[in-house]
Structure 1
Amino acid sequence: MILLRSLLGLCLIVIAFLVITDAQSKQKHAPQLSLSEKVQNLLDMNMKKSVLRFNTQKFKEYVRQAPRNYSIILMLTALQPTRQCQICRHASDEFTILANSYRYSPTYSNKLFFAMVDFDEGQEIFQILRLNTAPVFMHIPAKGKSKAADTMDIHRVGFSAEALAKFVHERTDIQIRVFRPPNYSGTVAVITMAAVVAGVLYLKRNNLEFLYNKQMWGAIAVFFCFTMISGQMWNHIRGPPLVHKSQNGGIAYIHGSSQGQLVIETYIVMFLNAMIVLGMILLTESGSQTDMRKSRIMTIVGLGLVAIFFSLLLSVFRSKAMGYPYSFLFK
C-alpha cells in the first residue's frame, strides 16, 4: 500500500513537470507579432490613451523584439506614494501634456509613440536597462540600440513639456508644438487682487497716506529683488525639479553645476540674501539709536547675520563654481 502511494505520488510529480515544461515550450515558441500587427496594436492602444502603459511582457514585445520601424519615447517612473518620488507625478504630467500635444498635432504618425513604465509594474525592465533612479526619459530608436545621447539629461534641462519636445526633435526630427490645457488660476488671481486693491482704495479714498509709506514700498521692492536674484524666473522658464538625488544616494538641495539649479535651491538663496539684508538694516539702524546698549546689541547681531549668512551664500557659490578659491568662515 505504501509502495502504491509512492508510485502514485511520483506519477503526479512527473505529470506536473511535463505540463509545466510543455507550457513553457509553447510560450517560448509562440509566434511573434509581425511588424504590421505591432504597429496596428500600438495605434489601437494610442487611440485610447496618449501614453501607453507597458509592463514587462509588452516591453519585451514592442521594444526589445524585432522587427520595429517606429521610435518610442519611454518614461520610467515610480508613481506609487510608497516610493516617495517627489517629482515623478509632476514629470508624468509634463510627459502626458507632450503626448497629448503629439496625438492631436499634424505631425502625428505611426513612427513615434510615447510609453511609460512604472517601477511597480515592471521592475525587471529597470534591471534590464540598469536603472536605479526615476524619472528617466529615454528614446528607443527604430533601428539599432539606444546610445548615451538617447537618455535625456533632466538635471541640466529639466523635464518640462517644452524641454521634452526639444529632446524628441533632436532624436527623431519630429517637431511637436506643445499645447497646454487652459489654466485660468493666474487670471482669476490677478482679477481678485485687482478687485481687492480697488476695494481698499475705494474704502480709503479719504485717507490715502499709506501710499506714501516708505517702509511698505521698501519691503515690496526688496521682496521683488529677492525673487529675481534667487532664480524664480529661471525656474519658470526651465521647469527644474524640486530636488534630485546626489551621487552618494542622498538628496541634493543644491545643483552641482553652475548651469543648473533646483527649485528648493532658489528658496535657500532667497533666505540667505534676506538674512544678509536684515543684518545690514540692523547695522544701519544701530547708529540712530539713543540707547547705547540697544545700539551695541543691534550692531553685534547685524554683524553676525552678515558674516554668517554671507559665508553660507559664498559656500553655495563655491559648490557650483568649481575652482573658486575664496571662502569665508565656511568651506
Structure 2
Amino acid sequence: MKLLTVVLVLYAGFCLAITNERLLKLQERSGGSFIKLTKSNFNEVLAGPRNATIITLLTATNPEIGCSTCQNIAPAFEQLVDSWSLDHPDGDGLFFARADLAEGHPDIFQALRLNNVPKLYVYGPTNDSTPLTEGFEVWNVPQSIDFVDHVVATIAEKLGKRVDLHQPVQWGSIAITVGSVMLFLWLLQNYSRYFILLITSKTLWGGFAVFLILIFTTGYMFNNIRGMPFIMQDDKGLPKYFVQGQQQQLGIETQVISAIYGMLALSVVFLVIKAPGLADARVRFGIVLYLLGLNIVLFSVFLSIFQFKSSGYPFHLLNIWSPK
C-alpha cells in the first residue's frame, strides 16, 4: 500500500511538472530566446516541479536605477541565450529566464527577497514543488565584460553542457562601413588635390600631435586601464564631474583638463607669436591684456582642480571656481 502511494505521488509530481514543451511555449510567448518572468508566470516557472534546468537572471536595466553592471551584461546575456537557442531549438533540458525590474514586475523581486541586483539563480530539475526562495543555486556575476565567458565555463563545469557562442551579424555596421568606403573613394577621386594638401599640412599634423599629447598626459590611458566611469552621481543624484584622490578619476575629468591645457596652450601661442605682429598698438595692448587675464583665470581653475584632487596642496591664484 505504501509503495502504491509513493508511486502515485511520483506520478502526480511528474504530471504536474512544467514540461519542456510548456517552457518552449512561454519562451515563444516572450518573443525571444529566454522566458520573460511576469507576475502571472514566475511561480509556474520557478516553483517547480520541473523537468529542466532554468538559469534565471534577475536584473534592473533602467538607467534611473543606476545599476551599471545590469546594463553592461544585458547584451552579453542575450548573446548567450540566442546562441544556445540557435543550437538547441528544443531547449535540450536547459532554459533561460529573466526578470527585469525595469519591466514593472516588483512582485518577483519581493517574493525572492532581493535587495540588490544583478543575481544569477539556477533552478535544477525537481519532482517537488518548492518555495521560490529554496531549491536554487547562486552563480557569481562578474563585474566586467567576461560575463559570457564566465557563465559558459560555469555551465560546462556544473551542468556538463557546451555553449558555442555565435556573434550576431552587425548589418548596420557593415552597411555603414561599405557606405563610408564608397564615399571616401568618391571624394578621393574628385578631390584628390585637397587630400594631398591635408596630408602634407604641417599645421594639421601639429594640431593632431598636440591633441594626442593633451589626451594622453591628462589620463586617457589611465581611464581605459582602470575602467573608470565617464561620470558619477553624488548622494543627491546630481552629476559628479570630479572625484578626490590621485588614484582615481572620471572620464569627464580627462576632457575638462585637456580643454584647459588646450586653451592655455593656444593663449600662450597667440600671446607670443600673433600678438606682437599686430600693427595697431592699442589693439595689440588690448589683446595682450586679454590673453594675460585669460591665462591667469585658466591657471587659477587648473590649480583649484589640482587642490581638490590633492588634499593639502597649499597654492592657488584666484578663488573663482572649485569642483567641490
State the partner residue of 2:271.
286
1:124 is aligned to 107
Give the counterpart of 1:52 among 12, 18, 35. 35
1:74 pairs with 2:62: no
Cα 1:103–1:76, aligned 2, differ >3 Å: closer, same or farther? same
8 Å CA contact 1:286–1:298 kept in 2: the answer is yes
Q: Are 2:202 and 1:214 aligned?
A: yes
**1:97-139: CA deviation from partner (whole Å, max 9, x where unpaired):** 22101222479964532212243552211223344677x3423
Q: What does 1:23-42 align with in structure 2 at a 5 Å threshold?
A: 37-42=18-23
Alpha carbons of structure 1 residues 234 and 326: separation in structure 2 relative to 1, 3 Å: same
Q: CA–CA distance in 1 between the matches of 2:44 and 2:177? A: 51
Most deviating of 168-177 and 272-281: 168-177
Query: Secondary structure at 1:138's aligned position in 2?
Result: strand
**SS in structure 1 at match of 2:293:** helix
Equivalent residues of 1:72, 1:114 under 8 A apart: yes
Question: Which residue, out of 257, 260, 263, partners 1:275?
Answer: 260
Query: Which runs of structure 2 are paired with 1:139-158 in the superposition (5 Å)?
Result: 139-142=121-124, 144-147=135-138, 150=139, 152=141, 156-157=143-144
Cα distance in structure 2, aligned partners of 1:281 and 1:86:
41
Q: Give 1:294 deviation, angstroms.
A: 1.6
Distance 1:63 1:89 in 2: 24
Equivalents in 2 of 1:126, 1:53: separation in Å? Answer: 14
CA distance in 2, matches of 1:311, 1:192: 47
Kindly tell me the number of residue pairs found equivalent between the two proteins. 277
Unpaired runs of at least 5, structure 1: 1-30, 319-323
In terms of mean alpha carbon deviation, does 87-96 or 117-126 score higher?
Answer: 87-96
Residue pairs, 1:62-211, within 5 angstroms: 62-65=45-48, 70-77=53-60, 92-105=74-87, 110-119=92-101, 120-131=103-114, 136-142=118-124, 144-147=135-138, 150=139, 152=141, 156-157=143-144, 163-169=146-152, 171-172=154-155, 173=157, 176-206=163-193, 208-211=196-199
1:266, CA displacement in angstroms?
3.1
Q: What letter matches 1:305 in structure 2?
A: L
Q: Residue 100 of structure 1 aligns to which amino acid in structure 2?
A: D
Cα deviation code 1:55-87 (max 9, x no counterpart):
2343223324456762413243366x9x78897
The CA deviation string for residues 162-201 of structure 1, in whole angstroms up to 9 with x for no partner, is x331341354335544323211444444444444444444
Distance 1:269 1:184, change over 3 A: farther
% same residue: 16
Q: Structure 1 residue 266 and structure 2 residue 251: aligned? A: yes
Distance 1:219 1:69 in 2: 61
Q: Which amino acid aligns with 1:124?
A: D
- TM-score w.r.t. the length of structure 2 is 0.61
CA contact (8 A) 1:51 1:116 kept: yes
When the two chains are superposed, the root-mean-square deviation of aligned CA atoms in Å is 4.8
TM-score by length of 1: 0.60
CA distance in 2, matches of 1:233, 1:183: 28
How far off is 1:144 after superposition? 4.5
Distance 1:271 1:176 in 2: 44
Q: Secondary structure at the match of 1:116?
A: strand
Output the CA distance in 2 between the equivalents of 1:61 and 1:185: 39
Distance in 2 (CA, whole Å) between partners of 1:98 and 1:189 is 26
Task: Tell whether the 8 Å contact from 1:76 to 1:137 is kept in structure 2 after alignment.
Answer: yes
Amino acid at match of 2:201: N
Provide the secondary structure at the position in 2 that maps to 1:114: strand
CA distance in 1, matches of 2:263, 2:238: 30
- SS of 2:294's equivalent in the other structure is helix
1:237-291 Cα shifts (integer Å, max 9, x gaps): x8x9887776x47366679899xx99xx535532432332222232243222212
Q: Compute the displacement of 1:234 (Å).
A: 4.4
Distance 1:242 1:106, change over 3 A: farther
Letter in 2 for 1:97: Q
